Structure 1
Amino acid sequence: MAKNRSKLIIFTVILLAFAVLSYIIGSRAPKEYPDFLSNSPAPMGTKAIFTYLEDELGSVDRWDHSPDLLDKSDESKLLVMVEPYFIPESEETTGYREFMEAGNTILLFKTVPGGMFDIKISGSEPAGADENTVTLRDPQGEERNAYLPAPVRIEPADKDEVLISDEAGPVAIQRPVGDGSLIVATAPDWMTNRAILEEDHLPLILTLINTVNPDTILFDEYIHGGGNASTFATLYPQWFLIFIVQGAILLILWLWHQGKRFGPIETAREEYVRFSDERIRALAAWYRRGKRYSDSLNIQADYVKLLMQEKWGIAYSREWTESTEGLARKWTSVSEKEITNFVKGLTDILQRDKMSKQEYLSWSKKIDRLRKEVEENEARTNILTRKI
């Protein structure tokens, strides 16, 4: 026993040391961020533009809930969507449209925006395409240099206004939607930390934002999976989660060491089969399925008559109507009138070939009551005999 305890203590110490080392090594490793997140300082994050706008405007925040929960009031909000990880479903698209129709604006940066908000494009994104520097024209007609990762251009509709374009076609357009608008640009890389200060990316971004002059700017993180984040992982730090997991493992090992059992207790068949006759159970189930209530009731009554002959001395060969006097002498807990009614009713029900389930259950309980009376009366008689 002492050896087992010492082994358990050593194992616990090793496990705790492993947990501490795992946490220290994991905390020193650089944190990895998905691309285009507004809280990501990585080269492909957008924390730089978020911080810049927060310092300049003050009213900048992140949105990580379903678009159905967006405030539809007319407050001139701007929702910035940078390279969504997925195309919103129809219900979500409806929420975005209602947001714009109420007088707000969505600024969508997506390399290939086709498929979102009925935007049509020309050209395609070649596999492994490198960034190319092009000369663009802004709404004031000034030339700007910028990187474009793919030769994708937007096909403007009749009511669309071209904001930024080059010789190949529009790079950014503005489309009216109800009282608001939709701005689409094919250059999400302009927003990243690594590229925002290169070329004329920042002036082009500010040009698109100042087109609507918003009071509030929201960076949509729902399109980056922010709405699916685990609440448990968000509320508790990593070291606490590791501690909980290691504690659970130690608890299981301790219970295992103490010999605790998990799951249902299964009694060995040989321990209970001698106390029950499986053939009787199978036969009873067969009678129930076949609705052979009359046969079953006759068997019960016949068994009780055997007990009455053995315990009370009432002959088995007698009919129930002939056993009334003997029952009245022995069945002292019931009145003579009740015994007479019982014998008469039992005789009638046993002579019937068919009966309902309710009748069967009722008379089965009455016969079982008599059986218990015979057995208990015999037990009381034996106790009195021993005392004498």
Structure 2
Amino acid sequence: MKNWLANKRSIILFLVLFLVLLIGSVLLTEEPLENYPAFDVSSPSPTGVKAFVEALQESGFQVERLARDIAYLENESLTNDAIIMIEPSFQVDEQVKNAYTQYLDSGGTIYFFGTEPTAFFEVETHPIDQFSDETVVEGAMGQFEAEVYGWERIEATEEDQVILTDEQGILAIERQYQNGGKLVVVVEPVWLTNQAILIDDHLDILMGIINFHQHHQVWFDTFQYGNYYQPRFDQIYPAPFLAVAIGLLILSTLWLWMSGKRFGVARDRRDQVVRFGDERIRAIANWQIKGKNYQQALIIQVHYLKQLIFERTGTPVTASWSTYQQVLERLLPEKTNKSISDFNNQLQAQLNKEHATKQEFVEWTKRIDQIRGEVEQT
């Protein structure tokens, strides 16, 4: 035994050092940051709404999450209840729309903070031609300093009561329903986020719009986000199917391995990485940012989007904007024709400008990247 240990001393020492390094790496590795969706009521990120919700709870208001279907509130007393919806999913069916309308007709109150109220309620909006981040908003509460982030304004009807306006149009309205029900629509959901709620007079505006003292219970609607109560993978498919699929996966891997296939990272030649890597793209991006050539950078992004659409559909890059609108409506059936038309019209107005501000560049980069990603998935 001693002779065996003496012969294997180097191997044993290597295994001990490897075990120590493995344990140390596990103990010292920090947990990755959790990725929260935007407007999540439990998100501490800048785009979350956790600060506003916790401040209400600490102030003694009855605030809860509504992570179930709205039919859950049918047997509750709705007269003094209110639901707050913050930029919910646009993909809703008629049954869901009718459920919210019935809730309003039963005497409930809904505060809708979102840029697409038409998806849930019969509240029409229209895009604005000019954008000004710093502005003065006016309402029955008075005048306030605010930063506006949205490109939509509300088209109020004769029955609507205008609550808040700016120089570009209507930002918030109130609409009465049967049995004392009330719908309040605000097209600036960013005011509720952790990063913006304490900017300028955003908190005063929100507290003036939402009368928490009037409601016995306030529900933050999280059901439409789809982030809660999602079934696990093993709950979607039956156990025999999963067993067969896993068995086939293992057998396929073993067969490829026995056939000589080796798994690992493909190594590119160094000259190819250096000549055709990201260095040129990064250099162009840094030059555009430092030179504040935001308008030119947007034009380049639009050309890239047109080239991508050409590769997918054969539509020439010199096609008219109306042609691109028809192509996008065909490629993106999950989006409404109105949202695509608004994107198209607003993008034309932006490209016709001589210069673009940094905020416009950041906003349009996000919107173009979103469309580009959806086109690439088609």
Give the alignment's TM-score, normalised by structure 1. Answer: 0.50
Q: Which residue of 2 aligns with 1:152?
A: 152
Q: Which residue of 2 aligns with 1:67?
A: 70
Percent identical: 27
Given the alignment, which residue of 40, 45, 49 partners 1:37? 40
Structure 2 residue matching 1:114: 3-state secondary structure: helix
Contact 1:110/1:185 (CA < 8 Å) preserved in 2? yes
Contact 1:70/1:95 (CA < 8 Å) preserved in 2? no
Distance 1:88 1:25, change over 3 A: farther
Structure 1 residue matching 2:102: 3-state secondary structure: helix
For the pair shown, which has the larger CA radius of gyration, 1 or 2? 1
Give, as a single letter, the amino acid of the residue that structure 2 aligns with 1:97.
T
Distance 1:23 1:138, change over 3 A: farther
In the alignment, structure 2 segments of 5+ residues that lack a partner are 1-17, 235-245, 255-378
The separation in 2 between residues aligned to 1:173 and 1:214, in whole angstroms, is 19
Q: Which residue of 1 aligns with 2:89?
A: 85
Matches within 5 A, 1:350-361: none
Partner deviation per Cα, 1:220-244 (whole Å, 9 max, x = no partner): 11121134524799xxxxxxxxxxx
Q: Which residue of 2 aligns with 1:182?
A: 183
Partner deviation per Cα, 1:77-130 (whole Å, 9 max, x = no partner): 11111111234211111111121111111101012333320111122599xx8x
Q: Which residue of 2 aligns with 1:345?
A: none
Distance 1:48 1:92, change over 3 A: same
Give the alignment's TM-score, normalised by structure 2. Answer: 0.52
Given the alignment, which residue of 96, 113, 118 partners 1:109? 113
Give, as a single letter, the amino acid of the residue that structure 2 aligns with 1:150.
G
Contact 1:66/1:227 (CA < 8 Å) preserved in 2? no
Distance 1:19 1:80, change over 3 A: farther
Contact 2:111/2:183 (CA < 8 Å) preserved in 1? yes
The separation in 1 between residues aligned to 2:24 and 2:126, in whole angstroms, is 55
Contact 1:133/1:148 (CA < 8 Å) preserved in 2? yes
Given the alignment, which residue of 119, 124, 132 partners 2:123? 119
Structure 2 residue matching 1:57: 3-state secondary structure: coil
The separation in 1 between residues aligned to 2:119 and 2:56, in whole angstroms, is 29
The separation in 2 between residues aligned to 1:19 and 1:230, in whole angstroms, is 34
RMSD: 3.5
The separation in 1 between residues aligned to 2:121 and 2:27, in whole angstroms, is 45
Matches within 5 A, 1:123-202: 123=127, 132-140=133-141, 142-179=142-179, 180-202=181-203
Distance 1:40 1:213, change over 3 A: same
Count of residues in correspondence between the two structures:
221
Q: Which residue of 1 aligns with 2:258?
A: none
Structure 2 residue matching 1:88: 3-state secondary structure: coil
Structure 1 residue matching 2:208: 3-state secondary structure: helix
Partner deviation per Cα, 1:332-360 (whole Å, 9 max, x = no partner): xxxxxxxxxxxxxxxxxxxxxxxxxxxxx
Q: Which residue of 2 aligns with 1:54?
A: 57
Q: Which residue of 1 aligns with 2:342?
A: none
Does the alignment pair 1:217 with 2:218?
yes
Distance 1:19 1:204, change over 3 A: farther
Moved more, 88-97 or 223-232: 223-232
The separation in 2 between residues aligned to 1:225 and 1:206, in whole angstroms, is 28
Matches within 5 A, 1:308-387: none
Does the alignment pair 1:99 with 2:103?
yes
The separation in 2 between residues aligned to 1:176 and 1:19, in whole angstroms, is 63
The separation in 1 between residues aligned to 2:197 and 2:127, in whole angstroms, is 25
The separation in 2 between residues aligned to 1:227 and 1:47, in whole angstroms, is 16
The separation in 1 between residues aligned to 2:212 and 2:50, in whole angstroms, is 22
In the alignment, structure 1 segments of 5+ residues that lack a partner are 1-13, 234-247, 257-388
The separation in 2 between residues aligned to 1:188 and 1:38, in whole angstroms, is 12
The separation in 2 between residues aligned to 1:231 and 1:220, in whole angstroms, is 22
Contact 1:164/1:172 (CA < 8 Å) preserved in 2? yes
Contact 1:125/1:150 (CA < 8 Å) preserved in 2? no
Matches within 5 A, 1:233-252: none
